[in-house]
């Protein structure tokens, strides 16, 4: 059974750093790309970027380029999303999802990691 | 960048009736070499992650009830929910995967009238 296990909820202050994780199981981790998707409270879905675990090739949405870093450790089947300096506007639910390199629609999603940032 | 625009933002439909959601892309997402439209639809219920319903604009994901159907080509697409059930109350999102950056529509909320 395919599972994407995301790290738990985080409460942070503005300016702090944060790294959240997404661990894949039940499938060949290097066969599928991993995407990160933001959902701000009461809002729609925003694609942040993707990483290909096979070669760590990473692509960012222009809206998130330079704001976050996506990485992967394929030895433990885990992808990461990190911030060096959080803002209040980073408060959101963050989902990881997997898709195929050529056809990146997302059949499997994690349950989400809620990040709350207070000043 | 391709912008996805859904309409309406919300709609209320009686049980057993039909719900129709539209999604328009700012440029064609039909890849002519394989004649496929690079569009997916997702359902998101409160407190849950999105669930894939349809890909290639009209291919239903396994175990998705056949009352959900997708149609359209090029820039204009439709998700139809026939015979609306109470469990279909959710927000529905379209997504293009034709080109990077990938993009979603703003979502359409479906409620029971």
Cβ contact A115:A39 at 8 Å = no
A contact test, residue of B1, B7, B49, B90 with most A CBs within 10 A: B49
Q: Measured between beta carbons, which residues in chain B are less than 8 angstroms from residue A110?
A: 49
Cβ contact A45:A39 at 8 Å = yes
Cβ contact A62:A85 at 8 Å = no
pLDDT reported for residue A101: 81
Task: Report the share of chain A in percent with pLDDT over 90.
Answer: 96
d(CA A19, CA B4): 30
pLDDT per residue of chain B (113 residues) written in tens, 0 to 9: 999 999 999 999 999 999 999 999 999 999 999 999 999 999 999 999 999 999 999 999 999 999 999 999 999 999 999 999 999 999 999 999 999 999 999 999 999 99
d(CA A56, CA A33): 9
Contacts of A75 (CB under 8 A, 6+ apart): none
The nearest alpha carbon in chain B to A35 belongs to B102
Model confidence at A102: pLDDT above 90: no
């Amino acid at each position: 059974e395919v599972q994407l296990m995301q790290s738990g909820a985080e409460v942070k202050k503005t300016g702090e750093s944060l790294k959240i994780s997404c661990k894949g199981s039940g499938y060949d981790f290097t066969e599928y790309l991993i995407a990160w998707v933001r959902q701000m409270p009461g809002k729609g879905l925003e694609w942040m970027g993707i990483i290909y675990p096979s070669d760590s090739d990473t692509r960012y949405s222009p809206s998130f380029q330079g704001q976050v870093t996506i990485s992967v450790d394929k030895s433990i089947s885990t992808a990461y999303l990190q911030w060096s300096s959080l803002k209040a506007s980073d408060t959101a639910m963050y989902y990881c999802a997997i898709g195929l390199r050529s056809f990146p629609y997302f059949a499997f999603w994690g349950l989400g990691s809620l990040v709350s940032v207070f000043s | 960048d391709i912008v996805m625009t859904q309409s309406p933002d919300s709609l209320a439909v009686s049980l057993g009736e039909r719900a129709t959601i539209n999604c328009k892309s700012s440029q064609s997402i039909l890849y002519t070499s394989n004649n496929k439209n690079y569009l997916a639809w997702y359902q998101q219920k409160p407190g849950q992650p999105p669930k894939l319903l349809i890909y290639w604009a009209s291919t239903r994901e396994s175990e998705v009830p056949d009352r959900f159907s997708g149609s359209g080509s090029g820039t204009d697409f439709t998700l139809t929910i026939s015979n609306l059930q109470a469990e279909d109350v959710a927000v529905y999102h379209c997504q293009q995967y034709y080109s990077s950056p990938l993009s979603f529509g703003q979502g359409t909320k479906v409620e029971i009238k």
